[in-house]
């Protein structure tokens, strides 16, 4: 940054725009790609539950808070 | 016992093979016994970067399928006696690699070499999986542009999912190399800077390589630029090689030295 832009406030440079766009798109992609094994795991859990009762659907969501990763599972029975 | 280092990137064309060729020479110059393995099956190109394309008889698939033994396929570098190269096959059948065979090959190489560098294909398909499955470490190459950083992020997320080491509860050491950075553009605010890229990827840095026209002629000649003692990018590769081997080396100063007036009016 030059002295003038430092003095009179930052103009929005293309690098700043790139950074913000990347952060946004990656926040979204990370959430949806975080667990590549999710589909397989879902199917397997479904099979296990079917042995005991009737199941309609399973929703698994992942959350991370600081350094704890949590998987939340919701099993909807028929 | 050697270690397996996979050089990878999400996007193609960011300088993965060039980086690998230079680091292979760099670590061999540091006295390590190095083998560079081209795992980009079907699309052979590491051979040209190393200037060894005329000496290929057998390839990595021939070794894995037992058509020849390892010593027949390994090519010793012209200049570095510590450096060996194992070429990719040119078959278009992407399914020729199989996990068990890859493991056997790497276990054999680990007994003979200190460093096994794997050139992974771009993308996240089959070949990539084999290249990361048995990696001890990974170097992720990205240029400072949005598509390259985005794809690098995707690859980083997949490495652990495909790694045997991660499955066993151990961690694959991952580092970022930022390639082709242009200090003038960064200064002007028209290119992501090193901190931006690291913040976004949330991984430690192991090197920054400045954009350099001479890389093109070095590729033309098949002489990795690291052998040129007067070029900044060559120096960057030398320092990265040392860092990989555990040495604490200062980063290159890539800042632009400008005069007073230019600093005010630019």
Q: What is the mean pLDDT of residues B2-22?
A: 93
Q: What is the dihedral sign for C-alpha B158, B163, B167, B173?
A: negative
Mean pLDDT of B1-25: 94
Taking residue B233's Cβ as centre, other Cβ atoms within 10 Å add up to 23
More confident of the two residues B55 and A7: B55
Interface test with A, best of B157, B255, B260 (most A CBs within 10 A): B157
What percent of chain A clears pLDDT 90, i.e. is strictly above it? 3
What's the mean pLDDT in B125-149? 90
Chain A residue with CA closest to B152: the answer is: A26
Q: For A3, which residue in chain B has the nearest alpha carbon?
A: B264
Give burial (CB, 10 Å; 0-12/13-18/19+) of B182: middle
Give chain B positions within 8 Å (CB) of A18. 145-146, 192, 196
Residue with tokens 């003095």: A7
What is the arithmetic mean of pLDDT over B221-237? 92
Which positions 192-221 of B are in contact with A (Cβ < 8 Å)? 192-193, 196, 200
> Taking 90 as the threshold, does the pLDDT of residue B43 lie above it?
no
Buried b (16+ CB within 10 A) or exposed e, B14-31: bbbbbbbbbbbbbbbbbe
Better-scored residue on pLDDT, B160 or B134: B134
Q: Which residue of B has its CA nearest to A37?
A: B161
Give yes or no for residue A58 having a pLDDT over 50: yes
Q: Per CB distance under 8 Å, which residues of A are interface residues toward B?
A: 1-4, 11, 13-16, 18-19, 21-23, 25-26, 29-30, 33-34, 36-37
Contact B11, B148 (CB under 8 A): yes
pLDDT at A33: 65
In contact, B234 and B210? CB cutoff 8 Å? no
DSSP summary character for residue B179? E
pLDDT category of residue B258 using cuts at 50, 70 and 90:
low
What pLDDT, on the 0 to 100 scale, is given for residue A7? 56
What stretches of chain A show up as alpha helix (H) in DSSP?
Answer: 3-7, 14-33, 38-52
Q: Which CATH class is domain B3-265?
A: alpha beta
């Amino acid at each position: 940054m030059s002295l003038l832009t430092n003095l009179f406030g930052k103009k929005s440079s293309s690098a700043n725009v790139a950074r913000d766009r990347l952060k946004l798109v990656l926040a979204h992609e990370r959430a949806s790609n975080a667990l590549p094994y999710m589909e397989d795991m879902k199917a397997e859990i479904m099979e296990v539950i079917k042995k005991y009762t009737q199941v309609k659907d399973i929703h698994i969501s992942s959350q991370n808070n600081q350094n704890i990763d949590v998987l939340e599972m919701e099993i909807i029975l028929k | 016992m050697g270690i397996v280092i996979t050089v990878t990137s999400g996007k193609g064309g960011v300088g993965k093979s060039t980086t690998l060729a230079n680091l292979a020479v760099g670590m061999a110059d540091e006295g390590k016994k190095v083998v560079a393995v081209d795992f980009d099956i079907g699309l052979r190109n590491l051979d040209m970067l190393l200037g060894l394309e005329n000496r290929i008889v057998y390839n990595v698939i021939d070794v894995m399928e037992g058509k020849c033994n390892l010593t027949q396929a390994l090519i010793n570098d012209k200049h570095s006696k510590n450096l060996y190269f194992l070429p990719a096959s040119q078959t278009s059948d992407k399914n020729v690699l199989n996990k068990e065979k890859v493991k056997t090959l790497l276990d054999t190489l680990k007994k003979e070499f200190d460093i096994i560098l794997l050139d992974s294909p771009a993308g996240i398909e089959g070949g990539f999986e084999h290249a990361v499955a048995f990696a001890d470490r990974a170097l992720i190459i990205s240029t400072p542009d949005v598509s390259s950083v985005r794809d690098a992020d995707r690859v980083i997320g997949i490495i652990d999912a495909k790694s045997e080491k991660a499955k066993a509860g151990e961690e694959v050491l991952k580092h970022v190399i930022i390639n082709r950075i242009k200090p003038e553009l960064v200064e002007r605010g028209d290119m992501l800077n090193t901190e931006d890229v690291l913040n976004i990827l949330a991984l430690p840095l192991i090197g920054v390589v400045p954009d350099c026209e001479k890389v093109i002629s070095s590729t033309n000649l098949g002489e990795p630029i690291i052998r040129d003692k007067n070029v900044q990018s060559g120096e960057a590769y030398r320092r990265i090689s040392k860092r990989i081997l555990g040495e604490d080396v200062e980063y290159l100063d890539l800042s632009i030295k400008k005069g007073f007036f230019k600093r005010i009016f630019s």
